Amino acid sequence: MDTTVTTATEENVWEGGNRPLGASYGKLMMWFFLVSDALTFSGFLAAYGFSRFKFIETWPIADEVFTHFPGFHGVEAPMYYVAFMTFVLIMSSVTMVLAVDAGHKMKKNAVIWYMFATIIGGAIFVGSQAWEWATFISGDYGALETKGGRILQFVNADTGKRAAIADFAEVIPGERVAHEKKNGIWYYEEGTRTSYNLNEVVAGFKANSNIVIRTETILPDVEELKTSDRPKDVAMAARFEKEVSNIEGIGEKAVLTREASLSKLDDAVMVVEGANLVRNEYGSRLFADFFFFITGFHGFHVFSGVLINLIIFFNVVIGTYERRGHYEMVEKVGLYWHFVDLVWVFVFTFFYLV
């Protein structure tokens, strides 16, 4: 009689039959959280995709933005470090799978080592993302911003490669030199001071005939525009043929002729170095906004996952789950870790590769 009552009580825990999908309450709640979080990330990526499609002609090219690799300053390695970060995070997901499998087999030492490897992988990823942020914020070349908020970058016409402002700008002595911080006077209202002001950049540009301007615009197929039925397209093709030097560079940023570059300088109003939520030397400021928001939100998830893994790791070391007779907590945190790995695959694909 007592056995019948006990069985009925166990079966009615969920008020609707035995455990749904054979999952415990804790694992089911983790799945609910992951589904809601997946919808949040989906909304962010959808907003990014919409904005990129709307401003596709002026959107920065990721291969030209993420070209740095720690320890190799000046060496262009497009997307190499991002690929390395992705590899590390995916491998940490593999070690988490092995930790969960070892927990099912009640192998405490194996769980310890695999979780330790997972934590190290997560820490490397978070540190790498912090370095990537710092590099993105500080910038590498510098640019000018026009009255309409457009970005003008510089190219060496002889080599066809980007030119940094520091390579050609001239230092013009003036009031700013006397008002340096060491002299006790500072321009508080100006915010962060750039390495060179607009006049110094313009003077250096005019003195170096091999420097030209590259705009935000991605070149379309000019021959196709010339045969278009729309007068607007035909006029655009004529303008490109007159002002753009790399006219056949379909899918590349438009590089202006020297004459067009000198004319474009008249629209410049300030120097921009690096990127933040207001200005972005790489191009559209929306690109920087989405970069900080999406990668930052994902980085927060990874950082949280590393902290949670540390807590579970120490519980494994002191034998908490060994005494319970199961390692379900390792499996639950493993679900979260696989989720942040999967989200990064989508971020890497849509933000960096596409």
Task: Report the C-alpha gap between 230 and 227 in whole angstroms.
Answer: 9
Sequential pLDDT tens for the chain (354 residues): 444 444 444 444 445 455 556 667 778 888 899 999 999 999 999 999 999 999 888 899 888 889 888 877 767 788 899 999 999 999 999 999 999 999 999 999 999 999 999 999 999 999 999 999 999 998 889 999 998 889 999 999 888 888 999 999 888 776 555 555 565 555 455 556 788 888 899 999 999 999 999 998 888 888 888 888 888 888 888 888 888 988 888 888 989 999 999 999 989 999 999 998 888 999 888 999 999 999 999 999 999 999 999 999 999 999 998 898 888 899 999 999 999 999 999 999 998 988
User: CB–CB of 121/128 below 8 Å?
Assistant: no
Contact between 256 and 244 (Cβ < 8 Å): yes
What tokens were used for 169? 């700008």
- pLDDT score, position 4: 45
Q: Which two tokens stand for residue 90?
A: 């995916």
User: Following CA atoms 327, 329, 332, 334 in sequence, which dihedral angle do they give, to the nearest 10 degrees?
Assistant: -70
**Rounded Cα gap, residues 7 and 18, in angstroms:** 10
Contacts of 164 (CB under 8 A, 6+ apart): 140, 141, 142, 154
CA distance 10 to 18: 8
DSSP 113: H
pLDDT confidence of residue 133: 94
Residue 91 neighbours by CB distance under 10 Å: 15
| 33: enclosing H helix or E strand | helix 25-54
pLDDT of residue 1: 43
SS3 letters across 203-248: HHHHHCCCEEEEEEEECCCHHHHHCCCCHHHHHHHHHHHHHECCCC
Residue reference for tokens 């720690």: 70
Residue pair 270/198 in contact (Cβ under 8 Å)? The answer is: yes
Q: What is the pLDDT of residue 39?
A: 95
- Nearest CA to 151 out of 232, 235, 65 is that of 65
The predicted pLDDT at position 27 comes to 82
Tokens representing 50? 């919409």
pLDDT of residue 180: 58
CA gap 14, 3 in Å, rounded = 19
Place of tokens 């090219």: 61
* Residue 70, SS3 per DSSP: coil
Give CA–CA dist 118/127, Å, rounded. 14
CB burial readout 33-55, b (16+ within 10 A) else e: ebeebeeebeebbeebeebbeee
Q: In whole angstroms, what separates CA 14 from the centre of its chain?
A: 43
Contact (Cβ atoms closer than 8 angstroms) between residue 142 and residue 271: yes
**CA–CA separation, 261 and 264 (whole Å):** 5
Domains and CATH numbers, the chain: 24-139+288-353 (1.20.120.80), 143-273 (no CATH)
pLDDT at 76: 77
| SS3 label, residue 151 | strand
Q: What is the pLDDT of residue 306?
A: 97
Q: Which two tokens stand for residue 316?
A: 């494994």
